[in-house]
Amino acid sequence: MEKLTTMVTGNNAVMRKAMLDALSLPAFILFFTMMGFGSLARGAGFSAEMSALSSLLIWGLPGQLAMVELTATGQGIIAIVFACSLANARFLPMVVSFVPAMSRGRSGLGGMLLDAQLLSINSWAVCLREFPGIESEFRHRYYLTFASSILLAAVIGTLVGYHGSVLLPAVMMLGLIFISPLFFALVLLGVAGRAERFSMILGCATISIAHTLFPSVDLLIAGIVGGSVGFAVGRSWKSGHGR
């Protein structure tokens, strides 16, 4: 006898689920991660308002770190904007893969741009995991509620880290930055596909070699070379054992 899966439906139920999913872990992960960024931004001479706005508008830690580092070294605005845009370019394929899964969203250009702006790695991963259990017409509401909740946590964490950086050792504050990437890596390792797991593991294993040989593009090499080879190995393993 097949087990029937109860779909979450209704505005209140969907919003409650989205907030509970956000508060279960992702919001706290981002809160503590952005505390580290707030501390770093203060050390680079940013104001509290500018630090919070960068979390709100850039909404991507690699881009925010690039902004802080380039500003500290005296780079011009064009170089900073280009670096932030390049660091967050990874969101383009994420948006392309995410919109069809969300089913019904906004129809206007402004609304779609707002949806794209709210997207982050955490909301992308969690929403794709939870969407199969949510009625298609309520998936957009779930996404907006979840994404807004973790974004608010990130902005608050930035301000707490900015003003609280004098209370904790600098090494501890900066170490908080690595919590979010670690959490996302654990989320990806939980996917069902063997190829995806091989891609993640081999990509992580490649980073130390890439950093030693090509430190300026180590992440790019680890992602393209290690990730692609791992994915190919996983696919070949699957086809070989599926015969």
Q: What is the DSSP letter of 46?
A: -
Please choose, from the candidates 201, 177, 205, the residue with its C-alpha nearest in 3D space to the C-alpha of residue 188.
201
pLDDT tens for 157-167 read 999 999 987 77
Q: Return the amino acid letter for 14.
A: V
Task: Give the pLDDT of residue 240.
Answer: 57
Residue 75, judged by CB atoms within 10 A of its CB (0-12, 13-18, 19+), counts as middle
As a whole number of angstroms, the distance between CA 32 and CA 18 comes to 20
Please choose, from the candidates 17, 178, 5, the residue with its C-alpha nearest in 3D space to the C-alpha of residue 186.
178
0.85 surpassed by pTM: no
Task: Give the pLDDT of residue 62.
Answer: 83
What six digits make up the tokens of 81? 């904007």
- Give the whole-number percent of the chain exceeding pLDDT 70: 85
Domain ranges of the chain: 11-190, 192-243
How much is the average pLDDT of 204-216? Answer: 83
Q: Which of 38-52, 75-89, 137-151, 178-192 has the lowest mean pLDDT?
A: 178-192
149 pLDDT above the threshold of 90 = yes
As a whole number of angstroms, the distance between CA 135 and CA 76 comes to 47
Place of tokens 């973790």: 150
